[in-house]
Structures are given as structure tokens and as C-alpha cells.
Amino acid sequence: MRCEMCGKDVPHLRKVLIEGTVLNVCNECAKFGTPVSEKEAMKYDTKSTVQERLEMREKRMRERDVLESEMVLDPEFADRVRNARMKLGISQEELAKKINEKHSVISKIEHGDLVPDENVRKKLEKALSIKLMVRSEPVAVQKKSAQRRGLTLGDLIRMEEE
């Protein structure tokens, strides 16, 4: 069980009233409040806003490895555009008019000499009903480590005592 004041892991906790809030605290932190019975604690009903937040924080701060991938332009974009255009049975000129670009742009894209910018890529995807973006290979990325923890009430109390 975790003390709601200092965050220490202890075998048992005590219910204590500290500045109008009932907290489940360890024996060391209990000296900062007045002990309350279960019946009295029910009046304050703050059970576990603090406890839930501590648990959520602990979960967020836990070290974990995650696979991340991002969307990138398909290396075979030129073939995809050419094949999709031919499947629709339209010429490069007709496609150029349809997406409001020059014929030379379409020609260069289909030959792989020009990488379409985002705007042209989206127009091509829409006109040809294709996707030119693919997921890159997943890369293992290490996320936040649990080593760094924030300031707790216990830390503040220790600072005042020093």
C-alpha cells in the first residue's frame, strides 16, 4: 500500500485528518494529523481521489518500451500513380487537369524524378483512389523512466523541517 502523503510503500496505513482531508498515511506521516475512525472518515468521503491520482501517476511514470512507426511516402509511389492512372484509363494530361496541375508534374512523378509535396499527394490519392503513404518499419523507443518522480507533500514537509 502507498502512503498518500509521502508516496512510500508500507505494509499498512492509518486514516488521519490533515487540514480537512482524510488521508491514508504511513506511521511517519500520521504525526502531521489527527487519527480518525472509519465512521468519521466516511463523512469526508475523499477516499481515493488522492489514491487514484497516485496510482495513475505511478502507471504513467513506469518505464516501458513502445514500438513507434510513422507514415512515410511509399518508395514505389511512381509505379502506384502510373498503375492507378492506367487502371482508370486516363492519360497524364487528363489526370493533370483533374487535379489542377501541369502535365510535366504528373510525368515527373510517374518517372520518380519528382517527389510530390503533401498537397499534390493528397490530390493524387483522392483522384486515383489510392494511398501513397505507408507505415515505416516500427522502431523500439524507450519511453519515460520511473526514476524521476515529482515533488510530494512529504518532500515539502522535509524542506520546512530543514
pLDDT along the chain (162 residues), means of 10: 87 87 88 84 62 77 67 90 94 95 94 92 94 78 52 74 68
> What is the rounded CA–CA span in Å between residue 75 and residue 133?
9
pLDDT at 84: 94
pLDDT at 4: 86
Q: For residue 4, which of 37, 53, 56 has the smallest C-alpha distance?
A: 53
- Name the fold adopted by 71-135: 434 Repressor (Amino-terminal Domain) (1.10.260)
Residues of the chain with CATH 1.10.260.40: 71-135
